[in-house]
Structure 1
Amino acid sequence: MENRDVISLISKIREKVNRFIVSEMVKYGIEGIATSHGDIIYALFRAPRLTMADISRRINKDKSTVTALVDKLVRLGYVTKERDTEDTRVVYVALTGKGRELEPIFESISQELLDVFYSDISDKEKEDLLHILKRIYGNF
């Protein structure tokens, strides 16, 4: 393997991780949600009510993409949208009861994913990997 193969390998790992997450969600009876929807749901686990702009910043996606993702989550019953009463340009998003029920499932899937991801990887190697990936991310 050459140094230039690392980008391809990272891409392949991302694909495998996404497939793993989706297949685990299906095992829990959750269908119709992509990993990009999960980013929004996770953001709402940490803050119960966010504006579309806040979500866009937190998940690093443009507002039009976030709007499409949120609209699907609304249709599936996981989130609600509400306009600000004073500034109707601002839209708030919040989890519904159905959306909040996903938290223990998502946490379980995340733990399973991490167990597979870091199988046979030492704590030192984990730290080194994270450090290197952060530096590479910062290059862009």
Structure 2
Amino acid sequence: MRQTRTASPKSPSGVISQIAKIRERINQLIVQELREHEIEGIVTSHGDIFYALFRHEELTMQETADLIGKDKSTVTALVDKLMKAGFIEKRQDETDRRVSFIRLTEAGERLRPDFHEISITLLARIYAGFTEQEKETLISLLTRIQKNIS
């Protein structure tokens, strides 16, 4: 039987595997937290849209796509699901029917404290044992990686 060789997590080539594992585990933790907060109808990919709308009262679909770094068709699919769940409402621009605006409904707005608490819990786990300098270095390095592959 042939043994598959994988890069050591400490080797430079192991970075992709480590990032993928971290992303997968964070998604699992978010799902767990959503369940514990009894929040239904939301998946981890909806989080960016909520956070964008927590910071901005109303956004166009294009502004949302730009803010969260996803293409407009992906945002449309995510928003449609959130509309069906009653968390977001959409309206068309009165002067340009091609432009749609989204905003949180009351049900969506009520999730703000839960999302804040989930973020605090998640960040506490992520940064456990890190110094402030290590946190800054980590963000700087991850930002450089993102820019390198953009």
Alignment partners' CA distance in 2, 1:39 and 1:126: 21
Structure 1 residue 33 displacement after superposition: 0.9
Give the equivalent residue in structure 2 for 1:134. 143
Report the identity percentage: 49
Q: Which amino acid aligns with 2:136?
A: E
- TM-score (ref. length: structure 2): 0.91
| SS class of match (2:12) | coil
Whichever of the two has the greater Rg, that structure is 2
Matched, 1:22 2:22: no
Q: Which amino acid aligns with 2:122?
A: L
Alignment partners' CA distance in 2, 1:64 and 1:137: 22
Alignment partners' CA distance in 2, 1:76 and 1:105: 17
Alignment partners' CA distance in 1, 2:117 and 2:20: 24
Task: Identify the match of residue 131 of structure 2 among 117, 122, 125.
Answer: 122
Alignment partners' CA distance in 2, 1:70 and 1:134: 27
Contact 2:41 2:82 in 1 (8 A): no
Matched, 1:33 2:78: no
- TM-score (ref. length: structure 1): 0.97
Question: Cα RMSD (Å) of the superposition?
Answer: 0.8
Residue deviations 1:98-118, cap 9 Å, x none?
Answer: 000111100000000000001
Give the equivalent residue in structure 2 for 1:95. 104
Count of paired positions? 140
For structure 1, list consecutive stretches of 5 or more residues without a partner in the other structure. none
For structure 2, list consecutive stretches of 5 or more residues without a partner in the other structure. 1-7
Give the equivalent residue in structure 1 for 2:56. 47
Residue deviations 1:9-63, cap 9 Å, x none?
Answer: 0110011001101110111111221121111011001001100000010011111
Give the equivalent residue in structure 2 for 1:61. 70
Alignment partners' CA distance in 2, 1:119 and 1:99: 30
1:105-120 pair list within 5 angstroms: 105-120=114-129
Alignment partners' CA distance in 1, 2:81 and 2:107: 14
